[in-house]
Structure 1
Amino acid sequence: MRAFRFGVVAAAGEGGARWRETARRAEELGYSTLLSPDNLHLPTPTASLATAAAVTTRLRVGSFVFASPLRTARAAAWEAHSLTTVTDGRFELGLGTGLPSMREQAEELGLPYGDGRERLDSISATIDHVRRLDGDAHTPVMLAAGGPRARRLAAEKADIVTLAGGPLATRDEFAAQVEEIRSHADGREIEIAMNIFVVGDHVPPWIRGFIGVDAETLIEHDSLTILRGSVDDMAAELERRRAELGVSYVSVNGSFLEEFAPLVERLSGT
């Protein structure tokens, strides 16, 4: 089994000073990676991640995730390779096809939203461009794989796959996703990742608005987007997910940076 590592998903929407402090604090707490979302209503991940890397020494930075409708494949690869260069190899390129809301944002940029196949083709081309630009370097690529075609592409070209399902997806559904990815990987080693939206028994209002369900519903359905209980309970749950699903790279919403830190301290590298 792969050793655990942990990331935190946060945005630089509250200004540079707060963002720099978030980066320093994530590194101090032992997180592996600071991950930045992609949205026209937030600072661009390229600027945010370069800033975070500049004020830290070990912390990796990553996009979570570059939405394919918001850039051409070549432009996305240009940004990715640039970040790999200026961070001395501490950048991880997360890619995804984007939420339906990205249609309006793509139109604002004068870019086509495209259908599902076209957006996946753009992701595939982005990876190819990055590999060419990198030369002897290697930018790790993480793919958010929500459907069968995305999982096949991830198995063929990604280094990391973050399991993508609705907040009420079952363990069996996630296990089937992992099996499907492994079956197409032809022996390639792929790191399996999962994002946690909620730590504890309370869902902040903005997260509830995003995922569309409350804490009671998440608990009733044994949702894997929530982690609760004592530190011992939560550590045991993460170890179960690694044993059953192969999940070793766990990211958490930035609202729970401090609450999740005891797990980072306990499990990182184990």
Structure 2
Amino acid sequence: MTKPFRFGVVAPLRTDVPAWLDRARRIADSGYSTLLVPDFPLTQPAPGPMLATVAARTDLRVGTWVYASPLRPAWLTAWEAHSLSLLTGGRFEMGLGTGRPGIEDELRDKGIPGVPPPNGRLAQLRETVERLRELDGPDRHTPVAMAVFGPKARALAAEVADTVTLALGDQPRGEVELLTRDFRTTGNVELALAVPVIGDAVAPYMAPPDTDPAALRAADALTVLPDDPAAAAEEIQRRREEIGFSYFVFGADFAERFAPVVAELAGR
């Protein structure tokens, strides 16, 4: 079953607060569905206050892209997510993952003991979602977007997530089609695609700064789109038709340039 297009923007706070809020209002006015913030402690304010502030000033949905689960106990992440869902009138989406590359060193630097092994991180993801469902109770359902890659993580996401995004790099189109096959078969999960590279520009906090756009294009990777909006719109439609991606996430620096794409495709 084909899901309608929607579009999100990862918007870290890299300016003064008034300029960032002005950008959030422009994103809302351009028809985007969701404003998202990354989980990089101490490089910006905490995700919860940032998202609550945006939700109070716009009609955007808001979400984390994504909580790095090893940084907090499961109950704490669930409590914050439930609180944001309540305070935003159901406009919060909890993005959750096992942590970016190098998270082990970050945990040690912050004095967090006992870096969990991969299986322990998956157990923590499950526990976080279970705690969130307990807090939500029967009358609330906070959507969960899960960033995964390996087979065990994909199986967990198929079981507990509403939205799934693959933690992609330079994997070619054909490989991504295979990785998403099980999700397309069930048809219950929204497939999201984070696109950190537009043309030759790389979005901060969405991909490493040494990302090579030319190499991604040569590999036919799905983490890059052309910077021409018309060509991008055509490719976005192809990716839904062939693979099932319906939720596309860009960096904030591209939001205004791709506003015509959003105007053409959102909700279709």
TM range, smaller chain: over 0.9
Please report the TM-score for the alignment, with normalisation by the length of structure 2.
0.92
Q: Which residue of 2 aligns with 1:94?
A: 95
- CA distance 1:208–1:238, change in 2 (3 Å): closer
Residue 18 (structure 1) shift: 2.1
Q: Which residue of 1 aligns with 2:75?
A: 74
CA-based RMSD of the aligned residues comes to 1.9
Residue 211 (structure 1) shift: 5.7
- CA distance 1:133–1:205, change in 2 (3 Å): closer
1:79-128 deviations in Å (ceiling 9; x for gaps): 00000011010000000000132223323153432111111110100000
Opposite residue 220 of structure 2, the aligned amino acid is D
- The gaps in structure 1 that reach 5 residues or longer are none
Q: Which residue of 1 aligns with 2:247?
A: 249
Q: d(CA) in 2 for partners of 1:42 and 1:171? A: 34
Residue of 243, 258, 261 corresponding to 1:260: 258
Does 1:145 pair with 2:145?
no
Count matched residues: 264
1:170-211 deviations in Å (ceiling 9; x for gaps): 11111111113346xxx46100000111223x2259679716
Q: Which residue of 1 aligns with 2:63?
A: 62
Say if 1:199 and 1:259, in contact at 8 Å, map to a contact too: no
Say if 1:23 and 1:34, in contact at 8 Å, map to a contact too: yes
Does 1:6 pair with 2:15?
no
- The gaps in structure 2 that reach 5 residues or longer are none
Opposite residue 2 of structure 1, the aligned amino acid is K
Residue 229 (structure 1) shift: 5.3
Identity of aligned residues (%): 43
Q: Which residue of 2 aligns with 1:203?
A: 201
Runs of 4+ more than 6 Å apart? none
Please report the TM-score for the alignment, with normalisation by the length of structure 1.
0.92
Q: d(CA) in 2 for partners of 1:34 and 1:208? A: 14
3-state SS of paired residue (2:208): helix
Moved more, 187-196 or 99-108: 99-108
3-state SS of paired residue (1:259): coil
